[in-house]
Structure formats: structure tokens, C-alpha cells
Structure 1
């Protein structure tokens, strides 16, 4: 319902007509504020006021202005104000033209009885238009927020009809499945092409007429591969007729979770295997000592030269078994606090454990170990780093290849810190630039199903925990036949007062060096 307060802008050049109009409106109960103008500039100034008029009444003809010109001026301001032609004797054709031009009504000065109903009707319609415009703007803003929210979702989201035709997708679906938006929205790819299980679950959804519990399903990507997903389905409009219902579907990528679960299973198996190996190594120590003592006693007797030769061979092999047993126990023994580590001895221990693989592939290991200061750190973790890198080098080289292990006391040129440098180089196939940039990413592997993609990632985390750095250079094999990879680890020397918490502090990210060197020493 409109207020009795009324602001009128009157386009009129006759003051007496303005007086009669004002008196008529006041008699009908309006609290009136009437402003009369005769020119376009005067009208423009009134329309630019902070409180525009509630209604505009305009005479059709003025000496220097006109009703149609006033109407055109109003339209140029984009203001929604009721505009009523209020004139004397004007032909019916002129009145129709005014209405076609956008005037809301036409009232003759000789028929003031029509003016009050016309003003009230147009004021009410203006309020209706204003409310409708506000509702439309609010709806557009809501749709824009929804669109932004859906597009920003990390989850894949799509809407389909009851036949499985996709009618909306967000960007996450395209990233997850690899299909283009055109393929999905054109009908070339349906809901059931993405996952046959969706057809069955869609029928369950229609039967239950409510949302389903999320379920796991494999979805087919554009390249033909499958991706594990968690899917949620629900009707957008459950009250609509079945043929018109739309289904909202969310897809969450479970690939990382599946890899994590598989990693946990493998880690548990490795932990069990490690404990088992350590237990066996511990248990066979006593019989080994007994056999060693027996061989010593046998060596005291007078033996033929050939028998003594065989005895010496047995003693050497027994020493080798004993060494492997001791190194196995040390490798799997957990370290709870930093300790002083003989780095060269640690490297030798790892090589001993991998000796069978090296012998099987006839890989030559070139040692150039010259560290004369102990390193403070976690013995078991650093063994794991060296084992990962040497094991990767074994996988990279061909039978008969070479691996260089070199250690030096050194100073880090970027920070001036003193420490130890370990270089592990091989003359394998090398890595291209894309692979080299991703090798420290978790779950990235070039070994297909045989690798977890976590060895180098874990190794980097351990090195970073020890306040060190790890760098890599690599070159793929080219026409000259030279290729290989060099890993360089720097571990700073730290005072023994450094606490376990200090070793866990983060350091800056690790640089990847450009592909500009080959492994000259082992090629």
C-alpha cells in the first residue's frame, strides 16, 4: 500500500494549471511536494536529486520543451518512475503514440477525475516492478554465488536427468575424468558411460525417492583408464514428475586414499618382514659363534694344505654371514634420539645388505669414501636414505653397470655450513626433465606396480629433518651413449646438544639442478 506522501515533478509552462493540479491533489489527501519545470536542464537537475519524484506529469507541448522529450530524458536516466502525459486537448492518435513511446498513461486536463486512479495504479505497479527487480537481482546474485561455489569445489559435480543425460558439469569433473565440457553436455557421454553402476543406483534412487548413501565405484576416464571414486546422489527436485526430475551427483577422487591404504599395507608388511629379519639375525648369532669356535679349534690341528685351504674359505664365508647378520640387526634397530654416526661405515653397511643384488647384476661399486668426522643424526633413518638411493641406482643401470659412492667433508657454499657430502652416481638410462622435476613428489613412480613412489619423497623428508639438502643431476641416454644420474646429499655437522626437536624443524625447499652434466666417473 502506497503512502499519502507524494513527490510530483510537473513539466508545465502554465502556473495556473500547476496551481489547479496541486489543489486537486491536496483535496484528495496527499501530502504533496510538487516541483514545476519548463526545460530539459531543469528536469535533469531534479532527476539527479538524491530523492527522485514518485511520479512525473508532463504537458505534451511547451514553448521550449515537450512531453515526448521529457519521456526520452527519463528513459536516458534508467530511472523507473511512473510517467503520465497530462495535457489539454490532444488527439487520440497523439495519446496512443505517447503510450507506445513508454508513457504509463495519458490523462486530459479536462478529466481530472482519472488522474488520482492513474497515479495510484502506476505507483503500485512501480512498487511491484521494484520488488520484482530486487528479487531478480537477488536470484542472479544467488545463482552467481552457486556457480562460483560449484566451480570452486574440489569435488566433481554434475547434474543429469532421469535418463542419464548430463545437463551440467563443473570444472572438477573435467579434470577428474578428462572429458571436455562439450562431450559431457552434448550427450556424447552419458552418466552410464562414466560408470555402469550408476544405472543401477539411479534406479534405486528413483525407487526410494530420496538420497542414497555414498558408495564407491570405478569411473571410466576419457583415456579409457578407470579412477576410483566415492559417489553421492540425490534428487534436486524430488516433488517433480519422474520424467522431469534432475539428479545431483558428487564424485570424490579416491586415488590418493587408495594409494595411502596400499602404502599402509605395504609398510605393515615391510615392518613385519624387518622385525622377522632382525629376529632371525639375532637368533642365528649364537649358532654362528659356535661354528666360528669350531672352525678355530679345527684350525689348530695339523691339516693337509688342501683341507686348510677349504677351512680358510669356510672361515671367510662365515665372517661374511656374520657381517650381514650384524648389519641387518643395525639396519632394523629403531633410533629414538640423535647419535654420532660413522658415515662411511653406514654406507658400507648398506652396500653389504645389497651385495646379493649387486652380484646378481654384476654391478661394480666404486668406493671413494673419505669422511673423517662423525655425523650427528638418526642412524636408522640415514641408512634408509642411502639404501633408497643405492637401490634406485641398481634399478637404473644395466647388468655390468657401475655405481660410484663418494663421501667428503665439505662446506655448503650457500650458507657456509660445514658438513658431509655423499654422492651416489650411476651410468644408467637417466631421467628426462619432466621425470626429474617430479621425483620427489609422493606416489610418483616410474616403476609401475613395483614401486610405491615414496622412496625419494621419504628420503628428502629425512634429509630435510637433518637440516640438509638433496640435489639431483641427470641426463637421458643420447646418440653418444653417455647417460646417468647423480644424487648429492649434504648433511651439516651439528653439536651434540642439538635436540630431537631441532632435527624436526623444516628447511627451505630443495632445488632441482639443470640437466647439464653426465656421470663421467662411472661411464
Structure 2
């Protein structure tokens, strides 16, 4: 193994002794390169100019004693190991020289000891240099981190003793708390805590809380603290145990950051959220009340129109007027429904009841309804139904609402002698599409991107001329998305017509579906007509509904409030309860509880409120069905007959 060359500075006035000394080291296997001097000047010059590992020196030299060589070597920055090699060094001189800093000594008569002493001296020197280097690096590291901690402007960094007193305090701590270091060193670390509020328990002592984190965990908290000037601030406080070399806790570090701006922003955000939620609840309540107040007068109007429509002796011109009244009441009811629907959509409260639905049947029914309306406006409605059903997963009522809104929109914006087309096709495997196209006024390119925005009706003049709230397309688009589909639009521009495309998943992949079996309506029941208790505080609505139900063969009693309804229920058995929800002395649920329907009885809730929560409340209370005003008597009759058949 190649050992490194050891350079030795040898102060010796006898060349023969110098040769023997170096030879002894060489015999021991040390690769030695020696420089021999015999006077002070050459010794100092050699120290300054060479890199040596070791100094060997005779003790007695003419004009240059070994003690002087030791003094010069000790004062030199190299701090080399210094070993005396002398023939006459007495015990007393040896002890003195060791006290002065000599590493060791060897008598010339015992040069065989020299390699061992040299090796030990070199090992000690290396260990000493390593220790000094580590200490130097530690000092530099402490200085660096001390400067770094002092440079942290946003973080107060302090150390606490085991009993919780402050031991160190960085510059940011002075800025944050307003105390200079000399005013806090040695004081309790909880001196910045706010006193407890009246009636609040006193906080545990800091020493107890510090003891909980002595296992190595950190204590992180957010709390209000106080500055020197009495001002308070909201702070993030992290306290961590500091461990010594033996693993025992020697203290704690505490880092504090001012979080007041974040806390204020969070409080403002929470306040804004609560205000928005309160405003949203107020809006929902307003819409519900508005719905009720608008529907209530529509109820008797629609019921009276339906009653007149049942008369066989009505002149044709009067029948046309009745149809006009019914049609406009339906339009008003639809506007109210649109307002409620858009509120449900915005608040993500619109629920769907998906079931296998025949898209062809939906289109057939709607086309039949709109064909007459289109003809009245001299618009041709082109639609050729498929000869087989196409089954999709959908909410039938909501799917019908999408197509209904598209056709309403097409009729509104198509002039006389125009055309409207309904086409169903398969754009790709697994998808089914319905196009509703028209030859109407078209849509300018700049309006296409906002056509599905609520309350947007395109050009202002066009919107004012045709009326409406601009909710139909927004609702249709949202309903399409909630069905897992899309609603898109294309138009070549103003005056060039518009095409809306509804695309849905087609589970059958376009395969022909077998027609569903048609249920044969049961023959009319021959048992006695059902008895109905109608609870309605609006006299006009009650009178019109009583007349209509009587025309269908039902026996109807009227109660105008909860007390009257309970009295009727106590006096007579009713097959059906139809109750308004808003009554002067309570609500329909109070009546329902007293009615307590048996298995062969049915309870129907009738309200002017159409919010989802109102529907859930009614059904959850035990009503079999929820109907909104203005009531379509055909719908109610269908419910009653369906229940009778079951």
C-alpha cells in the first residue's frame, strides 16, 4: 500500500544525528521527506515556505535552543505537532516543554520509540484538526442560521426553556410584538396571551402544555395575541420540542406568524357566504310566495274556463274565447314554473326521476299539440314519426319540457308562412338526436355564445316585440345536461333560421324496440261515486272545482279552513281529501293528520307553491301526490281514476 509522503522539518545541528533520525522513520516504513535546519532564520524560513506534517527538534543547539524553536512553532499558524529528539533532555526540562506546548519527546538513545511517537502525534493532530473544522463549521452554521432567523420579517422565532421562559428573540419578534429582546428574555412565553373572557375557563399553564409536546410532536394553534401597545392580532403559533445529543428535551422553539389579514378575509368571506345564503333563502321564499300569489287567482279562472268548456250548448265564438282564456292561463302558469325551475337549477335542487321513456311517444304527443298552434299562425309543422319506439333513460315530464321549450321558441321566432321541422336520427352509435329547426329570424353570430344564458333573448328589439322572460332555452339546456346529454344550436345568421339539437344517450344503440303493450283502460266503475272533501280557503277556486268535480260524478263537500275540515271528517267518511296547503288557521298537513287516510283512501296536496322543498314536505307528510295551481282538472281526474283502478 502506498503511504503518503510525510514531510518533516528537522531542527538539528549534528548531521549524523539528523540522518539517524530520518533513517529510523524510514526503517519503520514511513515515507519521509525531511528538511534539516540548524539556526533560527532557516527554521522560520522553512516554516513560512513549506507545508510540513511534523516538527522534530533537538533541545540543545548552539545559538538556537529547542525551547526557542518550540516558541516559534507554537506561534506559527500551521500549529504543527512538535516532538523533541534529544540526548540530554532531563525530566524537568521535558515537563516544562510539554507545558509550553510540545507534543512529546524521545531520547536519542531510544530512537526505536520515535516512529510510534510520531504516528501518535500525527493521529492526534488529524483528530484535532477534524474537531477544529467541525467546531468552525458549527460556528459558521450557527452564525448563518442566526442571521437567517434574524432576516425573517414575517416569522417571529423564539426559543423557550423547559419552564417556558423566553431564551432567544429574533428581530421579527421585535417587529411583531413591539418588545426588544432585553425586555422579554427570561419572561414567561405566554405573556402575550389575551386574558380569558368573563365566564370562560382559565387556560392551562404553559409548562403543562409544553409537557404534552415533549414526545416530539408539535403544537399548532391559531389564536389572538397582544402586542406591547395593547393592540391584538390573530396569529398562527407552532411550538416544537428541541432535543439535545442525548435525546432529552433541552427546550422549545416557537414560531409565530401574523394571520390577521387571512382571518379577516376568511371572516368577510364567511359573512358574505352567510349573507348570500340568507339572500338565496329569501329569494327562494319570495319566489315561493310569488308563485302562490300568482297561481291563486289563476286557479278559479282556469277552473271556471274548464267548467264552461264542459257545457255542450256553448256557442262556437264563446268556445274560442274559453280556449283563449285557458291558453293564456297556461302561459302564465308556465312562466311561473320557469321562474321556479331556474331557481332550482341555479341552487342545484332540481331532481330528476329517470326511467325508460319512449322518445317517439313524447315527440308524437308534443307535435300533435303544437301542430294546431302552428297552423293558427300559418306556420307549417313538419314531423314524420318513426313507426317504432326509441327508449331512452329520462324523466318523461322534463324531457317533454325540453322539446316543449324548443318548439315554443321556434313558433315565437318564426314568421307567417314559415316552417318548423322535427327530425329524430342517430348521429353516431350509442347516441340519439332530435333536431328542432325553423325558418325564422335566425341568430347573429355574436348572440350564439349566450343563447342559453338565463334571461337572455338575443337582440333587444326582437325580445321586446315577442315578450317572455328568456328562461326557456336556459332551462332546456340545463335539463339536457342533467340527462347526461347536450343541447346545441346553429344558425347561419340573421334571417336564415335556427336549428337546436338535443343529443341523448341511446342505450339500445339505435335498435328497433318492440312496442310496449298497450294497457286497456278498465271499464268505468259501477260502485257509488267517490266522496271528496275539498279544503280550499279561496271561495272562487272552491266553487269552480266543486262544479267541475260534480260534473265528473264526484260528491264534493267544501271546507274553508282546518277547523271546518276536521269537523267534516268527524261527521262523514271521505274517499278522497284534496287540501290546499296554506290555510288561515294552519296548513294541509294539520288536516291530513286528522284525516289519517286508510288503505282505500287517498290524500292530494294542492298548493300554489312549486318549490322542491314544498313538494318533499307534502309527500313526506303522507300526501299521495302534490299538484300545483292552477289545477288542470283532467290531471286530478286521472289521479283519482288511477287510484280507483288500483
With structure 2 as the length reference, what TM-score do the two structures score? 0.38
Higher RCO (C-alpha 8 Å, min separation 6): 2
- Find the structure with the greater CA-based Rg: 2
With structure 1 as the length reference, what TM-score do the two structures score? 0.47
